[in-house]
């Protein structure tokens, strides 16, 4: 649950500017009478209970004492409770489609049930755990002797005078006129709000169009350098395609040359030694010459015949040498042809891609694939810019968008004027016309029949004094722990972290901890000894009470999505203690909501939101 606003009219001690106070999540501090603020919240949280009679003390001549509260429940619904503190109450529900509140209930008991389901705490939890009231502090309690002397107010019936009945009827009729005027103003405001919604949607769509245009312009600007470099190619798409084809041709040619070179591996090749140095040839010639010399110079003429096969062998070796020489020459010619082919392919590729390679070097692009990708992204950015410009031109050409900004300003000003009329007339809240008609009919019948009303009066000359509440620390421990579903001992164990932080700090290390004895009495550890809480002085009991209330407030906020309400209860503490409590309250309100009614500058400085 989250409080959104509180409004009041004619409530004693509570007169906010423009009749209302807005709240936000976190620690909210409201200047003014904190007790009146807490009583108003209690009266609106629990419409089935009678409001505090002190709230109706300043009803004014017309007797208009009205308050309203708007909250977002745990069910996600925005509810508004409007209560005449001297009469009926109604519950309104916010309709998101119509953008206004509609009345749903006027029975106080059923309204209370709906609010409980929406997350409003029970009266007991609000009074004991989630509310911190100055009147509950030990220093504000009445002495026991005075309590026994306080008589109980007796109820008796007194007749309302015709003047009083007529005054109430006139006030109801005046409120009826005010409600009709407010209904007309509300209708005008609904129309204006509907127009404002359409204007804001229109301007929001325009902002989306402008944002798209700005994004497209930024995208084109990112490729500005690339576009300048690519523009030097004339038609970069055609040139890039030609370069890609040239690269493919070169790669194919190089692949074929490499394949042919691989095929030549192992073939005859290399330089041949001269034939006269060939061992086989020289051996044949030498053997032949030797045999011929032997045959001529000796009688062994038959040896000369060896010359024939030896010279034949030399001739055979010569023929083999000639074959190898021819093969080697052919390999060399093929190698020279392949090298020439490779050179021509490279030179052709370099001529065809010279300008492209200059652009790649300028842009720092390593290959044609990345250059092609860069060109594609640049063209896409340019296309997006053209589409964004066309959309912006179309939106700008619409007649209704030309004066939308000035019209929105005028509509907002008109809504402000209408809100001022509503706020000035009824504090922002008016009852619906049907309930006012029923009340006027009832008052008219009472004027005709002479109505009676029952009031509670005390004997003359004797002040009414509230009954004592017992020992404050014990009663607080018992009631708060019971509401949280814990025993006093278990509740004290749950409070230990906060108590051990606050109690020594606020007491100047004089008090250190709390304990509960077997009878449920609260004992305080002071100077290493356990001292009954009831025996402490009033300032020490106030300090202990404040520590327990803050610790229980933390437990109540942690137990569920609720709101803590604090009046100016800590004024009885000294400045250092108030500063420490202000920091703690701000910490407790993180992710939750605490409303603190106080004019103390210490708490206002620590607040997340001050009103």
**Is the pLDDT at 458 greater than 90, yes or no?**
no
Bridge partners of 524, per DSSP, are: 514, 531
Which distant-in-sequence residues (6+ apart) come within 8 Å of 163 by Cβ? Answer: none
**Residue 191 pLDDT > 70, yes or no?**
yes
Percent of the chain at pLDDT > 90 equals 22
Mean pLDDT computed over every residue of the chain: 81
User: 377 pLDDT exceeds 60?
Assistant: yes
Q: Rounded to the nearest 5°, which phi and psi values hold at 554?
A: -60, -45
Under 8 Å between Cβ of 37 and 604: no
Residue 150 has pLDDT above 50, yes or no: no
Residue ranges covered by each domain of the chain: 227-364
Q: How confident is the model at residue 464 (pLDDT cuts 50, 70, 90)?
A: very low
pLDDT, tens digit, 9 for 90 and up, residues 169-178: 888 788 788 8
Q: Is 12 helix (H, G, I), strand (E, B) or coil?
A: coil
Cα–Cα dist 165/450, whole Å: 8
pLDDT of residue 465: 42
User: Could you give the percent of the chain with pLDDT greater than 70?
Assistant: 86
pLDDT recorded at residue 184: 81
Closest C-alpha among 94, 86, 92, 103 to residue 43: 86
pLDDT at residue 437 above 70?
yes
**How many helical (H) and strand (E) elements, i.e. helices and strands, does the chain have?**
19, 16
Q: pLDDT tens digit string along 501-525?
A: 999 988 888 898 898 876 778 889 8
One DSSP character per residue, 384-416 reads HHHHHHHHHHHHHH-HHHHTHHHHHHHHHHHHH
CB 366 within 8 A of CB 360: yes
Mean pLDDT computed over 33-46: 90
pLDDT class for 462, splitting at 50, 70, 90?
A: very low
Chain-centre distance for alpha carbon 40:
32
The answer to whether the beta carbons of residues 40 and 55 sit under 8 Å apart is yes
Q: Sorting pLDDT into bands at 50, 70 and 90, what band is 18?
A: low
**Predicted confidence band of residue 131 (pLDDT cuts 50, 70, 90):** very high
């Amino acid at each position: 649950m989250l409080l959104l606003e509180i409004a009041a009219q004619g409530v004693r001690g509570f007169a906010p500017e423009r009749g209302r106070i807005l709240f936000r999540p976190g620690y909210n501090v409201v200047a003014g009478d904190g007790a009146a603020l807490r009583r108003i919240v209690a009266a609106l949280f629990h419409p089935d209970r009678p409001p505090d009679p002190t709230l109706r003390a300043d009803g004014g001549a017309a007797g208009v004492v009205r308050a309203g509260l708007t909250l977002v429940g745990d069910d996600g619904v925005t509810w508004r409770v409007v209560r005449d503190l001297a009469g009926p109450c109604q519950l309104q529900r916010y309709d998101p489609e119509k953008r206004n509140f509609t009345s749903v209930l006027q029975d106080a008991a059923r309204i209370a049930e709906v609010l409980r389901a929406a997350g409003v705490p029970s009266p007991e939890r609000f009074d004991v755990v989630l509310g911190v009231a100055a009147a509950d502090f030990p220093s504000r309690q009445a002495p026991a002797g005075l309590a026994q002397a306080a008589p109980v107010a007796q109820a008796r019936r007194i007749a309302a005078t015709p003047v009083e009945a007529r005054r109430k009827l006139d006030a109801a009729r005046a409120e009826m006129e005010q409600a009709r005027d407010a209904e007309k103003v509300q209708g005008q405001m609904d129309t204006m709000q509907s127009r404002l919604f359409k204007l804001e949607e229109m301007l929001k769509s325009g902002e989306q169009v402008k944002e798209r245009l700005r994004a497209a312009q930024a995208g084109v600007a990112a490729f500005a350098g690339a576009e300048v470099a690519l523009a030097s190619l004339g038609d970069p798409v055609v040139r890039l395609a030609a370069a890609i084809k040239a690269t493919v041709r070169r790669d194919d040619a190089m692949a074929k040359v490499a394949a042919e070179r691989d095929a030549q591996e192992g073939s005859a090749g290399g330089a041949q030694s001269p034939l006269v140095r060939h061992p086989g040839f020289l051996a044949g010639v030498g053997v032949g010459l030797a045999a011929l010399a032997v045959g001529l110079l000796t009688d062994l003429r038959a040896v000369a015949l060896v010359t024939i096969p030896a010279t034949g062998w030399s001739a055979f070796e010569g023929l083999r040498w000639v074959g190898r020489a021819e093969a080697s020459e052919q390999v060399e010619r093929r190698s020279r042809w392949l090298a020439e082919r490779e050179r021509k392919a490279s030179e052709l590729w370099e001529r065809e891609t010279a300008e492209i390679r200059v652009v790649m070097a300028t842009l720092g692009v390593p290959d044609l694939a990345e250059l092609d990708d860069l060109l594609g992204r640049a063209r896409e950015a340019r296309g997006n810019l053209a589409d964004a410009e066309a959309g912006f031109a179309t939106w700008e050409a619409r007649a209704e968008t030309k004066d939308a900004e000035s019209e929105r300003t005028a509509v907002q000003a008109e809504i402000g004027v209408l809100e001022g009329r509503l706020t000035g007339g009824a504090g922002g809240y008016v009852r619906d016309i049907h309930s006012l008609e029923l009340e006027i009919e009832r008052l008219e019948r009472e004027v005709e029949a002479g109505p009676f009303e029952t009031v509670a009066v005390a004997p003359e000359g004797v002040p009414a004094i509230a009954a004592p509440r017992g020992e404050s620390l014990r009663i607080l421990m018992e009631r708060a722990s019971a509401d949280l579903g814990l025993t006093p001992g278990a509740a004290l164990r749950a409070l230990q972290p906060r108590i051990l932080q606050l109690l020594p700090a606020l007491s100047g290390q004089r008090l250190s901890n709390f304990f509960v004895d077997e009878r449920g009495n609260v004992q305080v550890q002071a100077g290493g000894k356990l001292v009954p809480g009831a025996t402490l002085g009033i300032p020490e009991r106030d300090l202990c009470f404040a520590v327990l209330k803050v610790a229980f407030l933390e437990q109540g906020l942690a137990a569920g999505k609720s709101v803590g309400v604090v009046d100016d209860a800590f004024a009885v503490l000294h400045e250092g203690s108030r500063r420490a409590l202000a920091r703690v309250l701000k910490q407790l309100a993180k992710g939750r909501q605490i409303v603190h009614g106080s004019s103390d500058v210490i708490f206002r400085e620590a607040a997340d939101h001050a009103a």
